Structure 1
């Protein structure tokens, strides 16, 4: 039996010599010369050389602004992010000064288009609180069975399983999709935290499953459910809440939100749509980048003999671009953005709180290293690479450091991003259903010549 299992594992989960041989054939017959993309004016990544996206739709939900018109010419400017027309900096300042959580208020704004008054906000908080529950035995039957080492995959599986419990799962009317969206937004922290605990339990750690408290905010419940002693500080909850708000949405063209539009346009159900968006966000070029930043800095700290030596830091960054260190992909993670060329407003907001948290957590040396890399990286990238637009620290650059100082496990860095972005996905899905009735289908130019069929005996 053991040998049989080993044989099965080898076939299913190992890249065998035969598969390697076939992979070489696959690679060779899938190669397209890069010059052809230029010849046929293909916008790779659906962006031009300056990073500007191809116009694929219209939205009222959020706007990413990184340029302005001066003397008839478009020039880069400090980046700004708007939710329903409100500058993200003003929204964050507003709820911080009022000393109340921002997640629920901003969720209302993105879903319904306006900021709520006190009565509306209280009612909405109650709506979300009463939906922080899962179907009977869902934790035992779904979450505890075959937990995944990758939380994004585990959560996606949970979301797809929720389809089976919904008697109106395929109804794509606005009221029903709103119901499903409110459920998933409220349930997501439970799916995330419980999946994490279930995986740890399978590895021999203690299991504790805490129900959320209706009187707590989304951020407070995440911290409470995550920690065995249920304890968290006011500053920790405040910063996590702010992080959720900053990650809620980022225009209609970011990869996972565009995925939401594409999949919604096919007419499929909400659970399939959100699972598809999750698959997109998981990628290291999208939501998974915050984990890569953290891993990169861990490698950097282990490599440098002196964190304050700028020449050592510079050499490490050069080696990163030359594919000599870390994952040898030639990337400085957390630097650069498809839209922003001068500054990422989310990173600017984060940075102010990172410094405050670093002092409280006695992490000033680590913060200083991040600052040095933030300063040096754009210069080094400019020296080593052909640049079409500016490079700056993006939100992922600081978010991993923040989550680390909040004692959040790296396995949950991207899921926390998703716990926020599911609000934006839901808003965009509702907008797509309301306004567009055509399936999204861009064109691809075929390059393969037509050939006559050859019978098997003649090949």
Structure 2
């Protein structure tokens, strides 16, 4: 046996094992119909199997008219408050709103001015890392995928917590506040470590207690720590919109599942991060950006609807971009007519594109948003409407803010950790049983034979 194996090598033996697994693990799609199994825990209309109850957020995508469910413009509520009003309130008052949203999600009501200030102070107090943590954990063996770096850092923080396994409500609240506070640091420092390994300069700025989460993100990331109020405000809106999205999304459901086992907060957050990392979940906006970069290269005239439409058709025909047959950023598991988060972001994107001199790109996005549903509906059977989702515009926002692609999904996590925390606390308070759904066995049975006879 080699003393220094190549851990990245896929040997012929490994390939053979993979082929065996493939040949012995394929389930007949007809069996899902036969046993009435909802693949992805969703029916053909995209409606999820009800697996629990929550008071944290509500997604509205349908209305009942004359006893029939009909699609409607999407609405998102945090603890009963319309997200559009929450964002509009902060815009009107020219302040940052993510911290207010985090407070609302965690405790169930909006804070007073004094409570919000105290909450911000609590986060500022927790927005620091253990002595030498950056040197001993973050800077060692940096990962090119910052989500892996973030998850590793979160698990390592458990080693510095004398009450890591204490699941009493006050202790979990303390841990959750720390997670909300340090996720921006762990994300940006993880990126800086990766960037340094790539031969670039290393910048490790200290957070400033007087700054909001959005402001600290930009100040920590940029070499000169500079940013405009408008840049920070747009990023803050993104954090507000990504903070929570019901209990059924993959990473939040993961939070409920692992919390129900009685595990600690650090393991719970690492599991949620592992779920969010997937390109079908948190990594979707990266796919949108890369798709548009390919589109801008292939489409000669960005204003030519026929040329843009032909490219979109090529996407569906698996002849363009990654040949997956998808128009990224179009469609959602729940929303049909519209995603309220995309509607909110659209107005900010238009203004930011003018400020950054990128109106032609914005016009291209708008055209794709308009033509995409038309192309999809002409190609495939539709069980519900298709519209632009939040990922369609969020990646463009980050791109205009000069945020590195590697941080798109970690920034999602910086926001969503507030929702995860609220759901973890809700599960702990109401938990009755460990979450354990059933799987129907559809394989064969065999008689055991001694090794020499096989």
Q: Which band: TM-score by shorter chain?
A: over 0.9
Matched with 1:104 is: 99
Q: Within the alignment, does 1:310 sit opposite 2:290 as a pair? A: no
Displacement after TM superposition at 1:250 (Å):
0.2
Look up the match of 2:188: 193
What's the CA shift string for 1:396-421, capped at 9, x where partnerless? Answer: 00000000001111100010000000
Q: How many angstroms apart in 1 are the aligned matches of 2:338 and 2:10?
A: 43
1-structure distance, mates of 2:113, 2:17:
63
Deviations 1:80-124 (A, max 9, x none): 000000000011111111111001111110001000011111111
The answer for the alignment partner of 2:28 in structure 1 is 33
1:14-413 to 2 correspondences below 5 Å: 14-413=9-408
Structure 2: state its 5+ residue gaps: none
- Secondary structure at 1:13 match in 2: coil
- 2: CA distance, partners of 1:96 / 1:127: 24
Cα distance between partner residues in 1 of 2:106 and 2:395: 27
Q: Distance in 1 between matches of 2:200 and 2:5?
A: 29
Partner of 1:8: 5
Partners of 1:188 and 1:94 in 2: CA distance:
25
SS in 1 for 2:72: strand
Deviation string for 1:307-348 (max 9, x for gaps)? 111111111111111111111111111110000000000000
The 2-side partners of 1:213 and 1:8 are apart by: 45
Q: What is the alpha-carbon distance in structure 2 between the residues aligned to residue 347 and residue 328 of structure 1?
A: 25
TM superposition shift of 1:183:
0.5
Deviations 1:176-198 (A, max 9, x none): 11000000100110001111111
Give 1:395 shift: 0.1
Distance 2:13 2:437 in 1: 35
Measured in 1, the distance between the counterparts of 2:355 and 2:444 equals 65
Q: Offset of 1:17 from its aligned partner? A: 2.5
Following the alignment from structure 1 to structure 2, what is the Cα–Cα distance between the partners of residues 22 and 329?
26
Aligned-residue Cα RMSD (Å) equals: 1.0
- The alpha-carbon deviation at position 22 of structure 1 amounts to 2.1
- Matches of 1:200 and 1:408, distance apart in 2: 13
Deviations 1:230-284 (A, max 9, x none): 1000110000000000000000000000000001001111000000000110101
Distance 2:108 2:378 in 1: 44
Distance in 1, matches of 2:378 and 2:291, equals 21
State the distance in 2 between where 1:16 and 1:269 align.
Answer: 38
Deviation of the 1:145 alpha carbon: 0.1
In structure 2, how many angstroms separate the alpha carbons of the residues matched to 1:441 and 1:307?
A: 50
Output the CA distance in 2 between the equivalents of 1:19 and 1:209: 41
Q: Note the alpha carbon deviations across 1:110-148, whole angstroms, 9 max, x for none.
A: 001000011111111100111110000000000000000
Provide the C-alpha distance between the structure 2 equivalents of 1:301 and 1:18, rounded to a whole number of angstroms.
42
Say which SS state the counterpart of residue 261 (structure 1) adopts.
helix
Q: TM-score, normalised by structure 2?
A: 0.98
Residue 437 of structure 2 aligns with which residue? 442
Deviations, residues 32-86 of structure 1 (Å, cap 9, x unaligned): 1111111111000101110000000000000100001101111100000000000
Name the CA distance, whole Å, in 2 between partners of 1:14 and 1:289. Answer: 29
Q: For residue 14 of structure 1, report the CA deviation from its aligned partner.
A: 2.3
TM-score, normalising length from structure 1? 0.97
